[in-house]
Amino acid sequence: MGDSGSGRGGADGAPAWPLPVDTTEDVRRRGAAGAARIAVLPVGSFEQHGRFLPLATDTLVACAVARELAAAYPVHLLPPVTISCSHEHAAWPGTVSISAVTLHAVVRDIADSLRRSGVDALVVVNGHGGNYVLGNVVQEASARGERMALFPAVEDWERALERAGVETSLLTDMHAGEIETSLLLHAHPEMVGSGYESADFVRDDRRHLLTLGMSGYTDSGVIGRPSLGSAEKGKELLASLTDSFGAYVALLGGEG
- Average pLDDT over all residues of the chain: 92
Asked if residues 86 and 97 have their Cβ atoms less than 8 Å apart, the reply is yes
pTM score of the predicted model = 0.92
CB under 8 Å, gap of 24 or more: what pairs does 192-199 form? 192/52, 192/53, 193/51, 193/52, 193/53, 194/52, 195/50, 195/51, 195/52, 196/50, 196/52, 196/53, 196/226, 196/227, 196/229, 197/226, 197/227, 198/227, 199/50, 199/51, 199/52, 199/226, 199/227
> How far apart, in whole angstroms, are the C-alpha atoms of residue 54 and residue 72?
27
**Predicted local confidence at residue 83, as pLDDT:** 98
The C-alpha atoms of residue 210 and residue 160 are separated, in whole angstroms, by: 27
pLDDT in tens, 166-176: 999 999 999 99
Of the two residues 202 and 255, the one the predictor is more confident about is: 202
Domains, the chain: 4-252 (3.40.50.10310)
pLDDT tens-digit readout, 20-77: 888 888 888 877 665 668 999 999 999 999 999 999 999 999 999 999 999 999 999 9
pLDDT of 3 strictly over 60: no
The whole-number average pLDDT for the span 188-194 is: 97
The pLDDT assigned to 109 comes to: 98
